[in-house]
Amino acid sequence: MSTYSTYNARQTKQTEPIPGEAQVPNSAGGYAYELGKWGRLDRFLILGSDAPTYYANAQKLTKENAGVVLACLQEDGIRVVKTIVEISDAGRAPKNDPAIFALTLAASVKNGDSKGIGAHDIRRVALDNLSKVCRIPTHLFHFVEYLKNQRGFGRSVRTALGQWYTRWTPEQFAYEVVKYQQRDGWSNRDVFRKAHANLPATHQPVARWVVGQDTGPREVKRSKDGARVSRYAEVGPVGGLIAAFEEAKTADASRLLHLIRDHKLTREMVPTEALSSAAVWEALLPHMPLTALVRNLGKMTEIGLLRPTGPATNDVVLKLADGDYIRKSRLHPLAVLTAMKVYAQGHGEKGKLTWTPVRQIVDALDVAFYLAFGNVEPTGKRLNLALDVSGSMGASLIGSPLTCREACAALALVMANVEKDYVITGFTAGSGRTSHIGYGAAIQELAISPRQRLDDVVGYMSRLNFGGTDCALPMMWATEGQHDFDGFIILTDNETWAGNVHPSQALREYRRQRVPGAKLVVGGMTATGFSIADPADPGMLDVVGFDTATPQAIAAFLSA
């Protein structure tokens, strides 16, 4: 064979770049398209980098993604801040930490951007949006911890920190500083002092309590007729909450229940030793925030509050079935999916806590998962939902107990629940059912149905055999099997390397032989800088896996 015939732009090994196309080596040794910095910014803000991938550690990913944020800031600093705010404020990401970290980089930028916006103006816009990204004191503590590694606490930062606390009414202010007291080695007292906060008179009584200038003796005063009177009574409802919190530290069991119900104390405001009581959790439940409720289902089951029958179980089921309440609470689908996996297995990922799962709770979590995505519209297209089940997809998704493999199956079910004409396949290379396509390739239809519960699907995915990664297989399988699809939705980490043809080449060949207008959507499940989608091809789209907006984005692209 002549060496000239090896130069093939239609069929190229994935360990080599496609001739004439701008591809870069991925972390697995294959070649893929480099994701543009703005696309990678979205991936980082939604997926973060606190969990390692199969091929890169978390520290390396964080360093790389910080460089991406800085590069975007150099191009258009205001756009970066708007993107951070949009993703964080809409609750599109499972965790808020990446957005907080990116905001600290924007608030610390040293040079202006290519749009002619000066560094001072970019920093000002970032600080002006502090409360939209850092919505609770815990977020603020993360912000100041990240910020101290980037810059000093100059006047603009001190002003922003002080103003952050004044956006609340005195009652809200008291609730927030009592509920969220410290994190990352920072407390509200530390931030007050760092900011030299000049709070309004209405906030001063609480501020003095926070910094310890007005704590005084802890005994509760009594009026002339012997009634209990809070020494914070002069500031109205604010004083009542603080007095209840202080009293709860030493209250007996009966009094503690009254304090919880009367003042709506949260779990964080209750002494740790009291949280082994079913009666305490029962008192907390009616006003427990939804995120805290989902996080503590195992504990409430272990102590006997949640059982197959009972009012507490009914209350939880009703809350998890309220779509509006779920979305207003910013309860992310991944938080629900994580809770379902942990709860259904009957033990936590850490510690010795065990429980017998209540079926009604598992079913309610299943319902809540779909509700957390909002209204997903069907495309009416013929679809192949292709899941990468290779070994690299065994990496953790966003630091959760879920693997990327398990999570992408759940994401596929979101679309399968609204679509009518689809096939779900799983692909890897070198294991599973053997096909005659390519070298050691493996692809098969998966025994997954939208009628199954999520916990069953997660368990099924964890038992599959895994090999290398060949993201071209869905299109090659469809070509060989003469399957007609309008679109392929591939959920992957993009670390493809094992095939004899690139995914973009396989799609073009499928278009030539089967469906001329077939499209490809690639859902990236890790915050790497690669994609198998050709950015120059308008029929290919890269989206972020487990962005709450992903199903809607896919539907809009495939329907266009």
DSSP string covering 38-73: HHHHHHHHHH-SSS--SSS-HHHHHHHHHHHHHHHH
Question: Token digits for 107?
Answer: 């608030």
**Integer Cα distance of 419 and 64 in angstroms:** 37
Architecture of domain 383-559: 3-Layer(aba) Sandwich (3.40)
The pair phi, psi for residue 383, each rounded to 5°, is -125, 145
pLDDT above 50: residue 433: no
pLDDT above 70: residue 436: no
Q: What angle do CA 440, 442, 448 make, to 5 degrees?
A: 170
Return all residues near 184 (Cβ < 8 A) that are at least 6 apart: 141, 142, 145
Among the listed residues 177, 81, 89, the one whose alpha carbon sits nearest the alpha carbon of residue 135: 89
Pairing of β 182-183 and β 530-531: unpaired
Do 448 and 412 form a contact (C-beta atoms < 8 A)?
A: yes
pLDDT of residue 225: 54
What is the pLDDT of the chain when averaged over all its residues? Answer: 88
pLDDT above 80: residue 328: yes
pLDDT confidence bin for 219, thresholds 50/70/90? very low
DSSP code for 432: S
Instruction: Find the distance separating the first CA and the last CA of the chain, reported in whole Å.
Output: 45
Q: What is the mean pLDDT of residues 6-30?
A: 84
**Integer Cα distance of 492 and 288 in angstroms:** 36
Among the listed residues 205, 275, 272, 284, the one whose alpha carbon sits nearest the alpha carbon of residue 243: 205
pLDDT above 50: residue 233: no
pLDDT above 50: residue 399: yes
Q: What is the mean pLDDT of residues 73-89?
A: 97
pLDDT confidence bin for 174, thresholds 50/70/90? very high
- Name residue 144's amino acid: V
pLDDT confidence bin for 434, thresholds 50/70/90? very low
**Integer Cα distance of 393 and 545 in angstroms:** 13
Question: Token digits for 43?
Answer: 């991936």
**Integer Cα distance of 482 and 486 in angstroms:** 13
pLDDT of residue 2: 53
**Integer Cα distance of 170 and 102 in angstroms:** 30
Return all residues near 15 (Cβ < 8 A) that are at least 6 apart: 29, 30, 31, 497
